[in-house]
Structure 1
Amino acid sequence: MATSTTRPPTGEERDQRPLGIRTMRASTRRLLAEGAEPPTADELETLTLRLRGHIMVTVPEVEEMAGRLPRNDTRHACARACIGEARMRMRLEPGTTPPAQIAHAQRLARSVNALCDHYENLGGS
């Protein structure tokens, strides 16, 4: 996988661009909705990349918001655990079979949903 040489946005730059929670949740529904049709190989690749991007954008936001809370606050601990799980899932490689690739994308989708929940619970709009 290619490595990006662009720098991550600063806190000030992130404050100017609100997260697209609706868009992120719509991406996850494509994989997690009851009775959803399995995506084609091309769709799956696009969805997986999109979900990875959602995680890359959301983690710093949730991390910053959780960091404003006391360390002994339950919301802080839960958000940090979610961030750790999302980062771990980002490091994993999908399997080589379509079912394994779908399962990988579904795990990413669950992380996106959880990060969106934390973002909203921590006061994000």
Structure 2
Amino acid sequence: MRIEGTVTLDSHGEATATNAVDVLVMRQTIAPVLPAEDELPAGLDVDTLTETLRGHMELIVPEVETKALALHKEDIPRYCALACVSQANDKLRARAGQGAYGTLVFARKLARSLAALCDHYETLTSMPICLACDRTIHRRSESMPHDRVSNSGGAVTSHTHVVCANRAPYT
């Protein structure tokens, strides 16, 4: 499955190409497969799901790789993203095991890899993630900053959707 980009007009009426990476759609595809301890929804065709996950990965891998390669050679996000791309390419070359269980295990491996690629894509494109609901905060969404202390001891400014700010506890 290969999804092509689209051409849109910017505010000046000039054509701009946009890629078809839609992290929200990709995460919605992942949702029924993960977490592994949950059962899959009835009627879910694992073979179709696997092909959809593959298609999403084929689309996002070159985007993550291109954005990572644009960073300085010593940049840690570059290193991590390229390692994820390498692992994703390995999974794209792999095939599912025998039987329904083998197919399900393989789909979950693809889903975890796609989730990591989505995380790297969002990091590399500076798309903020809501600290409360773990979804992308799109430009059209109302959000608010939330300062917290990072593991490395520095302050990190994260964001939450305004509607999520009082709904869910977060750390």
Q: Report the TM-score range of the alignment, normalised by the length of the smaller protein.
A: 0.7 to 0.9
**Alignment partners' CA distance in 1, 2:31 and 2:71:** 30
Q: Answer yes or no: is the 8 Å Cα contact 2:96–2:102 preserved in 1.
A: yes
Which of 57, 70, 73 pairs up with 1:71? 73
1:14-93 → structure 2 map (5 Å cutoff): 15-33=17-35, 36-38=38-40, 43-93=45-95
How many residues in Structure 1 have an aligned counterpart in Structure 2? 116
> Structure 1 residues 15 and 109, CA, compared in 2 at 3 Å: closer, same or farther?
farther
- TM-score by length of structure 2 reads 0.61
Identity of matched residues, %: 34
Q: Which residue of 1 aligns with 2:120?
A: 118
Superposition deviation, residue 41 in structure 1: 8.2
**Alignment partners' CA distance in 2, 1:102 and 1:73:** 35
Superposition deviation, residue 29 in structure 1: 1.0
**Alignment partners' CA distance in 1, 2:35 and 2:78:** 29
Q: Which residue of 1 aligns with 2:168?
A: none
Which structure shows the higher strand fraction? 2
Superposition deviation, residue 56 in structure 1: 0.2
**Alignment partners' CA distance in 1, 2:52 and 2:46:** 10
Superposition deviation, residue 19 in structure 1: 1.3
Q: Deviations over 1:68-89 (max 9, x none)?
A: 1011110000000000000001
> Structure 1 residues 121 and 50, CA, compared in 2 at 3 Å: closer, same or farther?
same
Which runs of 5 or more residues in structure 1 are unaligned?
none
Moved over 4 A (4+): 39-42
Superposition deviation, residue 98 in structure 1: 1.1
Which structure shows the higher helix fraction? 1
- TM-score by length of structure 1 reads 0.81
**Alignment partners' CA distance in 2, 1:57 and 1:102:** 22
Q: Deviations over 1:32-81 (max 9, x none)?
A: 03653236686101100000001000001001110110111100000000
> Structure 1 residues 94 and 40, CA, compared in 2 at 3 Å: closer, same or farther?
farther
Q: Of the two, which has the highest radius of gyration? A: 2
**Alignment partners' CA distance in 2, 1:92 and 1:34:** 20
